[in-house]
Structure 1
Amino acid sequence: MRGSVLPLAVGQIRRRPAAFAGLAVALFLAVAAVTLFGSLIAAQLTAPAAQRRAVVAGPGPAVIAGAFGEIAVLVALFVVVNALGFTLRQQHRDLALLRTVAATPRQIRRLVRLQVTATVLLAAVPGGAAGLLAARAFLAALQERGMAAPGLRIPVAPLPVLIALAVALLVGLAAAALTVRRVTRPAPAVALTDSAAGQRRTGVLRLLAGVVVLAGGGLLLRLAAGRPVAELDKAGQAALLGALVLLVAVALLGPVAARLLAAALGAPLRVLLPRVGWLADANLRGYAARLSSAVVPVALLVGLAATLLTMTSTAEQAVRLSGATTSVTKASDVWLRQAELGLLVCFAAVSTVNTLVALTADRRREFALLRLVGATRRQLLRMLSVEAALTTAVGVLLGAAVAGAASGAFSRAVTGSVLPVVPGAACGWVVAGAAVLTVPGIVGTGLWAIGGPAVEEVGGERG
């Protein structure tokens, strides 16, 4: 099989374009983000000495790129890991079948590495080009606000793009090495059985890692809460980083947390909608890994956006009460936070749409089976609508919990109280945006997935 690994890798990409398209978009965003902020740093480092010493309204492009890009790049990489995990779960059955026909674990790992490498290379050129264009636009915006020297230019150099390519490739290969263990570790027959059962069990190592990451996020929030009032910026950075770490813990513990929340929220639906509600609730709880993949991007969107909005409102009120002016309330820094929020929301929104569309599209055979046992298209659409509402609710609750913990820690540092100032209208728009991305994405894709002859879908290959 050694010489056939490359054709198999290419064949899998062709067979499942929806799953790999989501991974490609995530890698595109990661490469673009690293290129964007790397180019800003390169512009500062390669500028003439006079421009580097120019007095600007702020710390300068390099420092802004470092602080601003730290969270953005981590979010982009988080999206890549989530997308890759989903892509490999989509191939679980095919990879397990290869194991049953004498493919070794080493060959399976090589196959996955080739897939990741090919996807990274496909995303590298457009991602690098987009990153360079975004760097020029961002630098121009900084210059308009006096936060960068007027003569500063983005250098035409391949180094930022190459660094972004290397980072994306390393992250992709590391995530692949961890995720492919589900197929290569158990015996071939056990791996095939797990794929048929939907991988309902969550591994002990994953649970332990989730608990450790959760504790790490708690320590970061404790550090943020202990900052003095004079260090609002540092408290905000620690709180935002803590929120991201907590979201990583949500991703690791997602199958357990999502199943518990789905059970709690699904109980009323079983009473209000005895047939459709029962089926939707059973689908969500029965396929915990699938539910976790769906709610994590929603939690990422809500958690980061609500954290930034609530922290800003809390800091602004504290400044109004004290009468002091800090970088938290300066117009230039407010613009920076708005730009950061827009970038993070863009990452999370793309991840949400990619994941939900691919997840729903992969259920065509499941929908066909339901149609063969008597379910109508109208009933399936109602079931999907209920599932979409539950998925949104679970993701919003998880994201709100993260935002509440992070903004509470920040509020403790700023005001001495753990009760932050919540901008109700802005957070309401965030929740509405999550619903707009989730419900139409699931129902619209489901409308396409339930089309076609049911017998042919059941008799054909899965996915």
Structure 2
Amino acid sequence: MVAIALGQMRRRPAAFVGLAVALFLAVATVTLFGSLFAADLAAPAAGRAAVDGPGLKVIAVAFGEIAVLVAFFVVVNALGFALRQQHRELALLRTVAATPVQARRLVRGQVVATAVLVAVPGCLVGAAAARRLLAELQRRGMAAPGVQVPGTPVPMVVALAAALAVGLAASALAARRISRIPPAAALTASSTEQGRTGAARLLAGIGALVGGGLLLRLAATRPAEQLDKAGQAALLGSLVLLVAIALAGPLAARVLAAVLGAPVRALAPGAGWLADANLRGYARRLSSAVVPVALLVGLSGTMVIMTHTAGAEAPGAATGVTSDTDVWLRQAELALLVCFAAVSTVNTLVAVTADRRREFALLRLVGATRAQLMRMLTAEAVLTAAVGVLLGAAVAGASSAAFSAAVTGSAVPAVPVAACRWIVLGAAALTVPGILATGVRAVRGPAAELVSGGRD
């Protein structure tokens, strides 16, 4: 199984690039904040007491927990897509007597191989980032001058163990469907897409939606002196709501695509109709594409609106949510989260589009030209960006409303229109050009050979 696992990774490297980058970011993030935590533990007590602000341990826990959760969210999404890319291969293995245990072992081997491959560079980047962040905190008076990142390998070991744990847990969930159904049914299912979201997944999505709502209620009811906790609860609630979107993504994406597809069909009767049919007919593929966009818009929008709301309510006040140092910390966290979301968005969209070579080749064989395919992809890209932005905006609106209720007593936050416009434009800039650039390459090559499987 090890040889087969590595062979599939060599045959489909594009399917594992996203997983590799996601695991790399996860390892680097855990190493970063774990190193800050270790630096605080190694610092003398007198030095920790003399520093103004929350301290390294609080920073590492408060800001690190969100970043780590986002990193793991990206890992799960990337792994699920990597397995969908090789669904047919796994089904074929089942038809030649591979057992469910062997199929799951193959997937675990791929996760372990990918994690080991990125472990060393991820740990090195995380350690370097920890030293850089510590220097910035010392320059701003939030860490004692003599504190240093210790040379212990414990944060790196913990980072690798955490990345392996989440990867193996995600692989167990993702490989469950292909390993439980009969071999013949698995092969048939590999060429089609389920028409509806499974009951277990839908129930999990509802549970995540309820959990996110409870976190937002907790944020909205925080007293004025606990605005930092309200901000953390609102941000964590937004992440849980995004998990709910990921779980119920095919259903939500199909509904939004149907609503938004009507004007597209009217404006472009040919390409618009085909794009709308593709998105609604392949809701799981659409969900894979829009979830990273929603993650980017939801998290960045939540943080930007929260910061602006707190600043508008208490201009010039040196409180925990409006001081210059805390604003800098939130900007640093926002940059990290945007990095995760942007990488996940680009990797997923490129891989999703590149995997459609045979589909494009079949359309060419029935008379579609490359120009018509590119017009279809343009309509799909616009619809994908619109669905992702709407889902992310809904999460950002709910989270920032809960925070605003704690800050101002009103559920109407102060919205920085210019910043939000840049977030939407950034999401569109990552989505539309990424799909089109990959599509240009995907429509090349001899159509008959691609349809017959001669090239991948």
Q: Tell whether 2:124 aligns with 1:139.
A: no
Q: Tell whether 2:252 aligns with 1:291.
A: no
Q: Cα offset for 1:51? A: 2.9
What is the CA–CA distance in structure 2 between the aligned matches of 1:221 and 1:46, rounded to whole Å? 36
Q: Cα offset for 1:356? A: 0.4
**What is the TM-score of this pair, normalised by structure 2?**
0.98
Q: Deviations over 1:47-104 (max 9, x none)?
A: 2344334x11211111111111010010000000000010111111110111111110
Counterpart for residue 447 of structure 2: 454
Picking from 214, 218, 223, the partner of 1:223 is 218
Counterpart for residue 170 of structure 2: 175
Counterpart for residue 34 of structure 1: 30
What is the CA–CA distance in structure 2 between the aligned matches of 1:440 and 1:222, rounded to whole Å? 38
Q: Deviations over 1:242-282 (max 9, x none)?
A: 00000000000000000100000001111111110000001
Q: Cα offset for 1:175? A: 0.5
Q: Is the 8 A contact 2:449 2:455 kept in 1?
A: no
What is the CA–CA distance in structure 2 between the aligned matches of 1:410 and 1:49, rounded to whole Å? 34
Q: Is the 8 A contact 2:79 2:170 kept in 1?
A: yes
Q: Cα offset for 1:324? A: 4.7
Q: Deviations over 1:33-57 (max 9, x none)?
A: 000000001111122344334x112
Q: Cα offset for 1:202? A: 1.6
190-199 or 434-443, which deviates more? 190-199
**Matched residue type, 1:224:** A
Q: Tell whether 2:231 aligns with 1:236.
A: yes
Superposition pairs of residues 85-104 of structure 1, within 5 angstroms: 85-104=80-99
SS in 1 for 2:149: coil
Q: Tell whether 2:36 aligns with 1:43.
A: no
Counterpart for residue 118 of structure 1: 113
Go from structure 1 to structure 2 and tell me whether the alpha carbon gap of 1:190 and 1:461 turns closer, same or farther (over 3 Å shift): farther
**Matched residue type, 2:32:** L
Q: Deviations over 1:308-367 (max 9, x none)?
A: 0111111111113xx754121111001001001000000000000000001111101111
SS in 2 for 1:421: coil
Q: Deviations over 1:209-236 (max 9, x none)?
A: 0001100000100111111122111111
What is the CA–CA distance in structure 2 between the aligned matches of 1:248 and 1:237, rounded to whole Å? 17
Counterpart for residue 419 of structure 1: 412
What is the CA–CA distance in structure 2 between the aligned matches of 1:18 and 1:196, rounded to whole Å? 20
Counterpart for residue 84 of structure 1: 79
Q: Is the 8 A contact 2:292 2:345 kept in 1?
A: yes
What is the CA–CA distance in structure 1 between the aligned matches of 2:372 and 2:355, rounded to whole Å? 19
**Matched residue type, 2:232:** Q
Picking from 70, 76, 79, the partner of 2:65 is 70
Among the aligned pairs, what percent are the same residue?
72
21-30 or 451-460, which deviates more? 451-460
Counterpart for residue 17 of structure 1: 13
SS in 1 for 2:84: helix
**Matched residue type, 1:81:** V
SS in 1 for 2:423: helix
SS in 1 for 2:148: coil
Q: Is the 8 A contact 1:200 1:289 kept in 2?
A: no
Superposition pairs of residues 341-352 of structure 1, within 5 angstroms: 341-352=334-345
Q: Deviations over 1:394-427 (max 9, x none)?
A: 0000000000110011111111111111110000
What is the CA–CA distance in structure 2 between the aligned matches of 1:84 and 1:262, rounded to whole Å? 24
SS in 2 for 1:197: coil
**Matched residue type, 1:391:** T
Please, what is the CA RMSD of the aligned residues? 1.1
What is the CA–CA distance in structure 2 between the aligned matches of 1:197 and 1:66, rounded to whole Å? 44
Q: Deviations over 1:350-395 (max 9, x none)?
A: 0000000011111011111111111111111111111000000000
Go from structure 1 to structure 2 and tell me whether the alpha carbon gap of 1:355 and 1:462 turns closer, same or farther (over 3 Å shift): farther
Q: Cα offset for 1:461? A: 5.3
Q: Tell whether 2:350 aligns with 1:371.
A: no
What is the CA–CA distance in structure 2 between the aligned matches of 1:217 and 1:316, rounded to whole Å? 25
**Matched residue type, 2:235:** L
Counterpart for residue 198 of structure 1: 193
SS in 2 for 1:277: helix
Q: Cα offset for 1:170? A: 0.4
- The gaps in structure 2 that reach 5 residues or longer are none
**Matched residue type, 1:440:** P
Counterpart for residue 441 of structure 1: 434
Picking from 281, 292, 302, the partner of 1:307 is 302
Picking from 381, 394, 403, the partner of 1:388 is 381
Q: Is the 8 A contact 2:48 2:143 kept in 1?
A: no
Counterpart for residue 245 of structure 2: 250
SS in 1 for 2:102: helix
**Aligned structure 1 segments of 4 or more residues deviating by more than 4 angstroms:** none
Picking from 186, 202, 210, the partner of 2:181 is 186
Q: Is the 8 A contact 1:235 1:410 kept in 2?
A: yes
What is the CA–CA distance in structure 1 between the aligned matches of 2:66 and 2:454, rounded to whole Å? 41
